């Protein structure tokens, strides 16, 4: 009887569990309660879902994306830096072009008064009566151009190349005048120039007497032709010729007696004549004039008659 009772009790257990799960009149429709453990395995599905999230292959690509963005930012920064550098290079090129580019010289004899590369000098100025035809440069046939006065430079360091050259003089008030060197001043120190009265009056009151000035050599602004003037007593046996009315200083004068196949030099005197003792043995010569700026002019068939003058047909 005991064994039968135990078996009967065990057989009644599922019915008790079924009631515990059912809450509506004993009717039970929850299949998971009556299903076997092998059939109801939702957990692997949940685990599989979690593994799907944990793999996240895209996450591995994220650093690469960040690196690419950093590289792009670096490239952009490099591009921006390069773009900022470009104007500096252009400015340097422009400055270099500005530094290496020479100033355009004025046309020869066009009225230009461009500065010549002969230095700038400072000192004092006085004035004297002025002597054009009787000055050291012997300009007996020269008429000063309009707007140009006369000046004497010191005998200290005198160079006959100065004869006929023009200087731009700046006065104490900053005003400027142009004067042609026609004489030398034996009593003037090296930094002292002596002006014609009208030139001094343009710079300051003549009653002042002495003023501080500076000057530099410039083109005279002469547009008319140069002239060749023979000294008294010039002949086939003694040659003395002077260049007059030139726009820039004259450096040398050469003579040819064979149509320009050969040229012979002359000696320039302190009183501004190009001379050749013994002459050239002919009544006419070809003349080559060279300026201090490197320009040359050849004038053919010049008479060497005493005190004669020939127009060159051009200027430097």
Give the tens place of pLDDT for each residue, 207-249. Answer: 999 999 999 999 999 999 999 999 999 999 999 999 999 999 9
Length of the chain: 316
* pLDDT surpassing 50 at residue 261: yes
What is the mean pLDDT of the segment spanning 241-265?
Answer: 98
Q: What is the reported pLDDT for 114?
A: 84
Domain extents in the chain? 115-218, 227-310
Residue 75 token pair: 């490239």
Determine what percent of the chain is predicted with pLDDT higher than 90.
62
What is the mean pLDDT of the segment spanning 49-69?
Answer: 42
Range 227-310 has CATH code 2.60.40.760: yes
Name which residue leads in pLDDT, 213 or 20.
213
Q: Which range has the worst mean pLDDT, 86-90, 134-138, 246-250, 290-294?
A: 86-90
Q: Buried (b) or exposed (e) across 8-42, using 16+ Cβ within 10 A?
A: eeeeeeeeeeeeeeeeeeeeeeeeeeeeeeeeeee
Give yes or no on whether 115-218 and 227-310 have one common fold. Answer: no
Helix (H) / strand (E) element for 61: namely helix 57-100
Range 115-218 has CATH code 2.40.40.10: yes
In which region does residue 199 sit, left (phi positive, over 0), alpha (psi from -120 to 50) or beta (all else)?
alpha
CA angle 14/16/22 to nearest 5° reads 100
Q: What is the reported pLDDT for 111?
A: 57
Tell me the pLDDT tens digit for each residue of 147-158: 999 999 999 999
DSSP per-residue codes, 9-47: HHHTHHHHHHHHH--STT----HHHHS-TTT--HHHHHH
Which residues lie across from 299 on neighbouring strands? Answer: 287
Q: CA–CA separation, 214 vs 115, rounded Å?
A: 14
Torsion on CA atoms 274, 275, 281, 282, rounded to nearest 10: 30
Tell me the pLDDT tens digit for each residue of 103-131: 333 333 445 578 888 889 999 999 999 99
Cα dist. 276→227, 244, 259, 260 in Å? 19, 18, 19, 18
Q: 204: which DSSP letter?
A: S
Name which residue leads in pLDDT, 289 or 85.
289
Which residues lie across from 265 on neighbouring strands? Answer: 254
Neighbours of 65 (CB within 10 A): 10
């Amino acid at each position: 009887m005991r064994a039968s009772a135990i078996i009967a009790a065990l057989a009644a257990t599922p019915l008790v569990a079924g009631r515990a799960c059912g809450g509506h009149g004993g009717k039970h429709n929850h299949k998971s309660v009556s299903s076997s453990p092998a059939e109801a395995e939702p957990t692997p599905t949940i685990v599989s879902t979690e593994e799907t999230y944990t793999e996240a292959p895209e996450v591995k690509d994220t650093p690469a994306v960040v690196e690419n963005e950093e590289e792009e930012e670096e490239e952009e920064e490099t591009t921006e830096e390069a773009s900022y550098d470009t104007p500096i290079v252009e400015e340097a090129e422009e400055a270099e072009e500005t530094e290496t580019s020479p100033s355009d010289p004025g046309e020869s004899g066009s009225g230009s008064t461009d500065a010549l590369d002969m230095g700038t000098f400072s000192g004092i100025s006085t004035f004297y009566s002025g002597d054009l035809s009787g000055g050291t440069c012997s300009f007996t046939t020269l008429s000063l151009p309009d707007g140009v006065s006369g000046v004497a430079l010191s005998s200290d360091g005198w160079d006959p190349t100065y004869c006929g050259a023009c200087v731009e003089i700046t006065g104490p008030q900053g005003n400027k005048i142009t004067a042609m060197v026609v004489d030398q001043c034996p009593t003037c120190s090296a930094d002292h120039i002596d002006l014609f009265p009208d030139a001094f009056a343009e710079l300051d009151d003549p009653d002042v007497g002495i003023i501080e000035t500076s000057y530099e050599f410039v083109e005279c602004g002469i547009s008319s032709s140069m002239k060749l003037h023979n000294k008294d007593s010039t002949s086939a046996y003694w040659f003395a010729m002077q260049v007059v009315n030139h726009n820039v200083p004259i450096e040398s004068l050469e003579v040819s007696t064979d149509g320009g196949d050969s040229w012979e030099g002359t000696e320039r005197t302190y009183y501004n004549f190009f001379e050749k003792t013994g002459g050239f043995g002919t009544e006419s010569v070809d003349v080559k004039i060279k300026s201090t700026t490197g320009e040359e002019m050849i004038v053919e068939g010049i008479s060497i008659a005493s005190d004669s003058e020939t127009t060159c047909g051009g200027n430097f």
